Structure 1
């Protein structure tokens, strides 16, 4: 879904267009969005047909290819070597001997996500966003991955003056450096937004992979799906646990889909594939389902949770986002919007205005207001009147605001 500017979901646009043209749409995925899965399975045992028809593919595209073996390594019970488990290092060395390829997946570009002062625990912040600056050691710069702001890495802590500043955590650049130290003979390439910004850079890298000129790929979600590397037999997953604690209710759905997709890069031809996931929580329900490669049971479990707490797809939502240089203007506008919406329909639940997880973005102070209804018709009826009220409010000219229907994040 397009998250800014004109907000639309490509899937929904395709469905509307297909309906007008009276043609079918194929939504193909090993890990469908829960909304799509619900639309295809909610009434399987009922006389009323589902919105979608369900067609299951029970074998891989290459008949000889088998699903990879997935292993979760408990990082609390082993000694890590520069962030890597002995099992993963051994598996990488074995692939080098066999002249097979490996992929290490870490969904965080840069060298390190945090620059930390060991004396006072100062962390380099972005002055324009509610986020931390990411260390890009090769360029000796700190960058914000949200607004693009960048600055030099300081020689000493701006807070206490101590010179002991440490990059903390791993990104793709640091992982690439670590592998070069541990496996000096390996031909390693990094694939992320930074390394592929040059025209045709990604095409050149993929050609090298297919020509067996690369031993180890280090990459972000750019490599998670859509690529077929017949000689790639090992996938290692680094540092995914943060998503298990995210306040975003879709985080576990996204993580499961992402890991299923990246695991699918291993063993796509006639060679057996192996996936090693490093985690502190190997017995988590997500990893148990992942080991079984059981999307169906995990998706159904997540849907049951959402039904119990009344989250999409069991309710319909709209999110009013507002931003301005002065947060007082945002507060005033959202309070007006709240009071107007609250009196329009008893069938729509209007939540109090709150600040989003990213409170400030690109120098703008932000706030939001969520609406929820059991039926889309009730929500749309309210929105029709409400949007007119918001447009005629004088405050609307002093801030930027947008209405997001079926928001992916709130």
Structure 2
């Protein structure tokens, strides 16, 4: 912005020095781009009007810089503001614009939103960098969102440093996430498969893994919500667990997707199992590194929490050891699929007189969805009349599995 020194009355005229960014010096270093001029006017008001003229000149000053050159400057400056992991991820996606010889030598002031839109839709969103066929494995929403976020960060910085007047990304529509309803294997395979899972858990006798799977199935919670659970969240008197935080991949605690949190009822058998687990785990409490958090699921004897990716790997290794897999055509049995099984078991064991609207509302709350409409679109299950009945569904399910095992 143009600036003006304090006006001084001299020889009947008001005199002041105006400093402004000179268009003729735009190719110089930023510190050398300002010019200074002394102005004399009869009144202070006339001085202010003169200053406004130079402010208008500044607005038309665009500092020249190519996409390739500014990328390095952006990266160095943002190191003090962004997390290195985030910034390096952004840099990776921005480098694609250079590798593909799209924007490296183009002045950022000449880049239009239509140019970026064409590149993203006609190329970036259509090409997988891992070599897979994008026709069979389309570029994911998260990848598209990374492109968009990286460009947004870069061009926002360009605007702040006066390389551009408007951020072209502001004119583009952010990639929309298209959810696809999970397709579980045929219903007749559910009970035999879960019977095999429970039998394998008993055979391995790994208490923590058993608790993890039982909690995931009964509560229907997200992976990060399970790893973030602490003993203070469990109310053994009411058989309830509070879900109000989420543990992200970098082990940072944050709010759940439904930031207000919610309460999930658990069965008597689940509560008893947690009590035994807590008692057996008590010897680890004194070794905890972070005394402020006492996680239910601990990754080591110092009480550190699991990464979400570790839970996924633990689950996949468990299934591999016991040759448990989906029928052909249904892909891998992901840990997140347990959340869908949780909802589907509720659907199978409800009183249909409840009604679709109220039932969907209840299951939505139990799963922690922000709206019943999302549950209706991607889960579409009934639920019992109250959440206590939801918990009983899983107790009965596990009893039926046990009976089948005893009768063999």
Task: Write 1 or 2 for the structure with the bigger share of strand.
Answer: 1
Structure with larger RCO (C-alpha < 8 A, sep 6+): 1
Please confirm whether the aligned pair reaches a TM-score higher than 0.5, indicating the same fold: no
Q: What is the TM-score normalised by the length of structure 1? A: 0.19
Q: Indicate the structure with greater helix content.
A: 2
TM-score by length of 2: 0.19
